[in-house]
Chains A and B, each alone.
Chain A
Amino acid sequence: MNDRVMKSYRFREEREADWQALDRIVTRAEKRGVKRLSDEDMLALPRLYRQAVSSLSMARSISLDQNLLAYLETLCARAYFFVYGTRASMGARIAQYFRRDWPDAVSRAVLPTLLAALCLFGGGLLAFILTLQDPEWFWTFNSGWDSRNPDAGYDYLRSTLYTEETNIADMLGAFAAQLFSHNSTIAVTAFALGFCLGIPTTILLIYNGLSIGSFMAVFFSKGLGAELTGWLFIHGVTELFAIVLAGAAGFMIGGAVAFPGKKTRIQSLRDTGNQAALVIMGAVIMLFLAALLEGFGRQLINNDMTRYTIAIGTLIFWLAYFYWPRRTDEAV
């Protein structure tokens, strides 16, 4: 026997071809997806995977070849993530999100949603009443940069509600500005700061409510209430709903940290975090739709009736979509 040929080398020689085969299959799957694997590959995969894993444990105890160990270690990890990874395609996942996951997650979070709505609309109502009684309150809730303040006249305020001439560049600009508006920042921040026991979320929601409420009071005091409501709620229903849901997601996480129950805090945070992510993802989609409505819808539609119809229509749509009882699919 050639004394250069040792046990660990023979071990490698016997199994190397199988490792390479597994490597090829996993590489192909990573590059082009599971669907591109042939039937033989799919049949061979479980056997090759189990063999590689057992080779790894064996190699650890008999071989001192660094390169071999590192190779097996990463090969097994890659194969593990592939074999036990998820198989659904991106399209199927997106479909499932809209069909089931999103409304489920929202309808299960009724309490946080009500709490967030209370903060937002409570703040709004408070500021509305205060500013109606004494317009000076407006300056407490808003800084001075907005020209639509209690000092503005009826005609000016009215002119801000309707658009005479529209062109695509302006609409696109309004749409883009809306994406980065104050409100969408508030929504995402309300979620992200939720885990500080929900306190920053509460403050943000109330603060946002205050500025909306005082803003509305300015128009109402000038007798432009009905016109403003149409102008605001054509996209506002969707947008404020999104803010409420984002706040609800923040409260879910805050609640998971504050009251973990029997789980550890980390565990509770993780479980709730995954649910809250579904809600916030939906809120971002709603903000996007709201931006479309504001950028295009509001510039094109200058009729109060139509604006109200769209506002009420969207409200009914969202409520039905989220809370309409639906058959639970046991199979999935």
Chain B
Amino acid sequence: MARRKGKKDSQAIEARREALRRRDMRVKEQERQARRIRPLVTPEGAALNLRVATASERAGAFLLDFSILVITVIAFSWLVAIVFSEMGFRGWQIAGSIAAVVVFLLRVFYFTFFEIGRKAATPGKRALGLRVAARNGGRLTANAVLARNFMRELEVFLPLTLLVMGSEDAVGAWTRLLALVWAATFVLFPLFNSEKLRVGDLIAGTMVIHAPRVKLKKDITSAEPLATAGNHTFTHEELDAYGIHELHVLEDVLRQSTSEIKAKVADRIRNKIGREASPTSDDLAFLEAYYAALRARLEQRMLFGDRKADKFDTR
């Protein structure tokens, strides 16, 4: 008997340790996310929290743009070649020359054109919810856009040329390797500063922020009270079992998960606050009622200056 109890205890200790470990990881992740935020005080005196785009988001946006460029050039020169060949002209030679002109124009103007535009973002950036902004919070000037995009020459096209370029002998190969290392410092530059600035951003005084469009969804608490919702009332002790983090997780569950997950979450909450699942009870109604009650309780505590961060936060 005693041995069995000991086993149960050690299991509980193990579970608690695991939970605390996960919480540490979560807090670290939150700190990491918080470092991405650059507050911008508007002339009205309100602070906007702009999020600096991560290096991977920016790389993704660039790859998208680059693919668009390549596809455009290929499609365009193919079309020109066909048209001129039909007319009995030297189609491919003309197409080659025109493709070169198109490459030149796109290389110089593609990024600049879209970033000077109203959305301050190329199609690739837009797809990932990024946009260019001035680092000091002021206007993004056309000059800044020009400056940041001319440096692309150094950061993208020079390394590309070096990669394509062949080398005949050992000396050539070594020179090429050194040149590649030198070029790599520019390519990898964004990884080594907190604002993920390219050399071009540095010179132009810009940064790239992550500001995707968010749709305003229905407030969960505003949903028409379900028929059985009225049956659920919770005591303060039951509501103090969780904190803001759990409330946000519950919000995500209610907004976007399947009914099986909702059932599981409902079970866990019932377990935690020590309620029996009645055979007639509806999981969704229970969760919505608990969410509303928990949010009301936490918001009330917050108004009194008491933010309960998560379930471990007991004061």
Contact = CB atoms under 8 A, between A and B. Distances in A.
Assign chain A's interface to a size class.
35 or more
A19 B141 CA distance: 28
Contact of B221 (A4, A20, A193, A266): A4
- Dominant secondary structure of chain A at its interface with chain B: helix
Given A77-B48, A269-B203, A20 B94 contact: no
B56 to A, nearest CB: 20
Contact of A274 (B94, B98, B141, B244): B141
B211 A77 contact: yes
A120 B229 CA distance: 82
A173 B96 contact: yes
Interface in A39-97: 50, 53-54, 56-57, 61-68, 70-71, 73-78, 80-81, 84-86, 90, 93, 97
A177 interface: yes
A30 to B, nearest CB: 5
B107 to A, nearest CB: 10
Interface in B15-69: 40, 42-44, 46-50
Contacts of B133: 81
Among A180, A269, A273, A288, find the residue whose CB has the most chain B CB atoms closer than 10 A: A273
How big is chain B's contact interface, by range? Answer: 35 or more
Contacts of B89: 169
B74 interface: no
A30 B131 CA distance: 13
B215 interface: yes
5 contacts: A8-B295, A53-B46, A57-B46, A189-B158, A191-B153
Closest 3 CB pairs of A and B: A277-B147, A270-B205, A192-B154
Given A33-B118, A86-B142, A271-B205, 17 more contacts: A3-B296, A6-B299, A64-B299, A68-B216, A71-B214, A74-B213, A77-B48, A85-B118, A86-B141, A101-B143, A172-B98, A179-B100, A195-B199, A273-B205, A280-B150, A281-B150, A288-B104
Interface of B: 40, 42-44, 46-50, 89-90, 93-94, 96-98, 100-101, 104, 108, 116-120, 131, 133, 135, 138-144, 146-147, 150-151, 153-154, 158, 199, 202-205, 209, 211-217, 219-222, 225, 229, 244, 247-248, 251-252, 255, 289, 292, 295-296, 298-299, 302-303
